Amino acid sequence: MNTVFEVYKKACQKLENIQKDEINVRILLCYVNKYSEMSEFYLKKDQEVRSIDLFNELFGRYLKGEPIQYITNEAYFLGDIFYVDNRVLIPRMESEEVATYAINKAIELFGNSEVEIADICTGSGCLGIELAKHLNCKRLFLTDLSLDALEVARINCEKFMNQLPKYNLRNGDGLSPLYFEKKCSPNIIIANPPYIIDKNAVDKSVLNNEPHLALFTDDNIKIYKDIICDASKFDNDPILLVLEISDEIYPLLKEFINTYCPMWKVEYIKDINNKWRIASIIVTKKK
């Protein structure tokens, strides 16, 4: 008999760095045995593994470097489980800080009033969906240049359907698919655009597995500039625009905003690792 604990022990022997990776063996065993919580791993460690062949296949993929989230099709974000696969970026902890900031700032600005939310470069949809769940959202717009990514966002919208208002998925560059949409009038725009300029700075597992369209920018901050310029074309006043940034993007964006939008209230915020992570812009009509 292959008990959960025996299989776990054998698998751990194959790992180079047990301290770092053994939790993923437990995650895979919970997945194969359909345990909904890690506590079941300990409580049911003497049960038989439902399918040793399936475990071996998944563990093999993991040993070859595939991220655990793509293998289980699950990624945690602000306490929720999002569907993910290799068509989208795996939601990052840093983006949880961005979403949390945006939720708090939106409450400060709009209280409990009804708001429309647009998540640009949505990927899995994690940012827009979490904002819509936590705010009094009457309509949610999710856009992405990648049709494949939008399919994943659709899966997540359907997954959280009972907690969401009407949602619209649109394909296209930056805010442009919404700018031409008469119905759309966002009060809050959030975006986590691809922002890595230096391809050498990326971990091999990320480089080999995650979509490059989600990671890299070939034209510095063009997408940020486009989103900022297009945000001002909507009628609402004010609009809260929250952008995820990086240490690389921060000086370029700051220079652009200081030059072209000095009239807007802008805040730059570092994350818990002391890296520049959030640009928060209150877009107003005042000159």
285: β partners: none
28 binds ligand SAM (CB under 6 A): no
Q: Report d(CA 115, CA 128) in Å as an integer.
A: 12
Question: At closest approach, how far in Å is the CB of 261 from ligand SAM?
Answer: 20
Q: Which is nearer to ligand SAM, 69 or 146 (CB)?
A: 146
DSSP alpha helix (H) spans, the chain: 4-14, 18-32, 38-43, 52-63, 68-72, 93-110, 126-134, 147-159, 176-179, 204-209, 212-215, 222-231, 249-260
Q: Which is nearer to ligand SAM, 8 or 97 (CB)?
A: 97
Taking residues 45 to 64 in sequence order and writing x for each that binds ligand SAM by CB under 6 A, - otherwise, the string is: --------------------
Tell me how far CA of residue 90 lies from CA of 83, 151, 287, in angstroms: 10, 15, 39
Q: Which is nearer to ligand SAM, 126 or 228 (CB)?
A: 126
Q: Which is nearer to ligand SAM, 48 or 74 (CB)?
A: 74
Binding-site member from 214, 241, 242, 253 for ligand SAM (CB under 6 A) = 214
Q: Which is nearer to ligand SAM, 54 or 215 (CB)?
A: 215
Site for ligand SAM in 127-156 (CB under 6 A): 127, 144-146, 149
Binding-site member from 58, 68, 123, 184 for ligand SAM (CB under 6 A) = 123
188: β partners: 117, 240
Residue nearest to ligand SAM (CB): 123
DSSP string, 230-245: HHTTSS-SSEEEEEE-
Question: At closest approach, how far in Å is the CB of 164 from ligand SAM?
Answer: 16
Binding-site member from 25, 71, 126, 189 for ligand SAM (CB under 6 A) = 126
Q: Which is nearer to ligand SAM, 8 or 128 (CB)?
A: 128
Our measurement of the distance from residue 159's CA atom to the centroid of its chain's CA atoms, rounded to an integer in Å, reads: 16
Helix, strand, or coil (residue 253): helix
Site for ligand SAM in 82-121 (CB under 6 A): 88-89, 91, 95, 121
Q: Report d(CA 97, CA 185) in Å as an integer.
A: 25
Paired tokens of 87? 């068509």
Q: Report d(CA 106, CA 115) in Å as an integer.
A: 9
Question: At closest approach, how far in Å is the CB of 46 from ligand SAM?
Answer: 38
Q: Which is nearer to ligand SAM, 6 or 94 (CB)?
A: 94
Q: Which is nearer to ligand SAM, 32 or 121 (CB)?
A: 121
Site for ligand SAM in 154-213 (CB under 6 A): 173-174, 192-194, 213
Mention every residue, 6+ apart, whose C-beta is less than 8 A from residue 100.
78
Tell me how far CA of residue 58 lies from CA of 62, 135, 147, 270, in angstroms: 6, 38, 27, 37
- What residues line the site for ligand SAM (CB under 6 A)? 88-89, 91, 95, 121-124, 126-127, 144-146, 149, 173-174, 192-194, 213-214, 223
